[in-house]
Homo-oligomer: A and B are copies of this chain.
Amino acid sequence: MSTKYEEILVVTYRLFAEVGIEKTSMSRIAKELGISKPAIYYYFPSKGALINTLFDFLMKEIQFQNFFNQEEYTPHNIRQKLIVDGHAMIKQQAADPHYEKVMSEYYALSAKETKFAIELKHVLHIYLEGFTRLLELAVAADLIDRKDVHLRAQFLTLIVDGLDKYTDKEYNVDPSEIWTFAVHSALKN
């Protein structure tokens, strides 16, 4: 059973994907829920609060640590674990039909609202650091050179960042295959 607070967030999330953040009006959210506009204001002080709450939720969802747990990585298993964890990430994001569009909305919003830009950049930076640390295990295993770590961490970050765009489309290539190829490329000397 879900609370009204949660119901509002769920409907708003869907509308942000379908209609866009700016064009999603409080009236529209109320209408879809079968309640009145002031009822939403009882739970959220403003539309901005609704936008911020969903953004914070999303940022937690996409954190590096949710998909790649550094503690489980060893110089021995790094290749296979990178591949498997990436596949799990792709699968999870594909399971949410609104994910890509809502992210795209927030990305556009970040052009005008510094707060979002800073946070999105931060999340990307953590991916960069995370992949850097994982790739250093590959250095220890003599798979790659230390000097190549930085560039290849950037490379993997870019791929991860771009993969969701290819997730819900019928490009007759599984994004998982691209990820697998990218991991092999990143670990090739």
A residues contacting B by CB (< 8 A) are: 17-20, 22-23, 101, 104-105, 107-109, 111-112, 121, 128, 150-152, 154-155, 158-159, 161-163, 165-166, 169, 171, 173, 177-178, 181-182, 185, 188
> Is B18 a contact partner of A111 (Cβ separation < 8 A)?
yes
Interface of A is mostly: helix
CA distance A123 to B185 in the complex (A): 26
> Is A154 a contact partner of B182 (Cβ separation < 8 A)?
no
With beta carbons under 8 angstroms apart, the residue of B104, B121, B158, B159 that contacts A111 is B104
Question: This chain: how many copies in the complex?
Answer: 2
> Is A181 a contact partner of B20 (Cβ separation < 8 A)?
no
Inside 8 A of A111's CB, which chain B residues have their CB? Answer: 17-18, 20, 101, 104-105
> Is B181 a contact partner of A112 (Cβ separation < 8 A)?
no
Inside 8 A of A165's CB, which chain B residues have their CB? Answer: 158, 161
> Is A154 a contact partner of B166 (Cβ separation < 8 A)?
yes
Q: Which of A107, A158, A165, A182 has the most CB of B within 10 A?
A: A158
Given contacts A22-B20, A108-B105, A171-B128, contact A158 B152 (CB under 8 A): no
Inside 8 A of A155's CB, which chain B residues have their CB? Answer: 178, 181-182
Q: How far is the CB of A82 from chain B (nearest CB, A)?
A: 15
> Is B169 a contact partner of A151 (Cβ separation < 8 A)?
no
Given contacts A108-B20, A158-B159, A188-B185, contact A178 B166 (CB under 8 A): no
Q: How far is the CB of A123 from chain B (nearest CB, A)?
A: 13
CA distance A83 to B17 in the complex (A): 36
* Beyond A20-B22, A20-B111, A158-B166, 9 additional pairs, beta carbon < 8 A: A17-B111, A18-B112, A121-B169, A151-B181, A154-B166, A155-B178, A158-B159, A158-B178, A161-B165
